[in-house]
Amino acid sequence: MALARIAIGVRVDSDPDELAAHDRAQRDAAVGAETRSMVAGDPAALAVVFDRYYALVLGECRRRLGPQSPLIEDATQEAWLRVARRPVLCHSEGQLLAWLRAVAMSASIDLLRSELARRSRERAKSLGVGERALESAIRRAKSRARALLEETR
């Protein structure tokens, strides 16, 4: 006969799967309440989510940019700014984690693209290449790449 445990005022059989499901349901309810408050503009709810998931967003930015990238902290900050500006109602912790990862990925990619474009402009300027000449060269390179792709098909 299975033993019973009391978990947060609710009797749950000792089956680990049932206990895990109960814990997951409680976390999902808490996430729903926190994100609902964030959407309503509550800065305290944003602070709770930030404290709880900062490391996840930082890790996702590090994974996307590389462990030694100087852009990791900037991407993490940009991701949290996006979360604060446009919070989303999430009904489960899994949904919140997926959304935070997507925001971190998007911020990382956008920051990387911006940095690469800035470097290209600086390099072109140092070589004496004008903005129009650079854009023209990029268009020609894209055209050649498309042609090569068509040849390989």
Q: What is the mean pLDDT of residues 118-123?
A: 83
On the question of pLDDT at 122 being above 70, the answer is: yes
Tens-digit pLDDT profile for residues 50-90: 999 999 999 999 999 999 999 999 999 999 999 999 999 99
Cβ atoms of residues 102 and 41 within 8 Å: no
Q: What is the mean pLDDT of residues 126-152?
A: 74
Cβ atoms of residues 107 and 64 within 8 Å: no
Cβ atoms of residues 51 and 83 within 8 Å: no
Q: pTM score > 0.75 for this model?
A: no
Tens-digit pLDDT profile for residues 28-47: 888 888 999 999 999 999 99
CA geometry: angle 82, 107, 52, nearest 5 deg: 60
Domains of the chain: 30-152 (1.10.1740.10)
CA geometry: angle 45, 47, 52, nearest 5 deg: 100
